[in-house]
Amino acid sequence: MISELSADLAPMADELIRGERAAAAFALAAQQKIAQANAQIDHAFVDGLGELKMQIHADIYWRMVALYGPRCWHDPEFRESVYKKNPEVRVQGLKPSPAKTAGGLHIAYR
């Protein structure tokens, strides 16, 4: 049964591979657009939530899960590796200045 299925899919293998490569290219292009948008936005530190460090396109997120397993994003070393190796996922954040608080609300200036 499996061998019959494999024989039926063999003629389409090149087309499937091309489609997968095209989908990966679209996901990377979308991630670059996210990076361009993030470069124009000031992201502030939110007390209790922390600092936004990365934004990852959903397709790339799920590709990583497929490659490295469902708990890969829970691993701090994995996240740090993605952060260091992929500058397009990084978000420029504004850290709060302890001297500039108003009623417990942190105000950050660039």
Q: Is 50 left (phi over 0), alpha (psi -120 to 50) or beta?
A: left
Alpha helices in 1-110 (DSSP H): 2-9, 13-39, 58-68, 76-85
**What pLDDT band is residue 9 in, cutting at 50, 70 and 90?**
confident
Q: In sequence order, what are the residues at sequence separation of 6 or more whose Cβ sits closer than 8 angstroms to the Cβ of residue 61?
A: 73
Q: Flag whether pLDDT at 75 surpasses 50.
A: yes
pLDDT for 1? 52
Domain map (residue ranges) of the chain: 2-106
pTM for the model: 0.56
Backbone angles phi, psi at 100, to 5 degrees: -115, 80
Half-sphere exposure of 96 (CA within 13 A, CB side): 17
Q: Flag whether pLDDT at 45 surpasses 90.
A: no
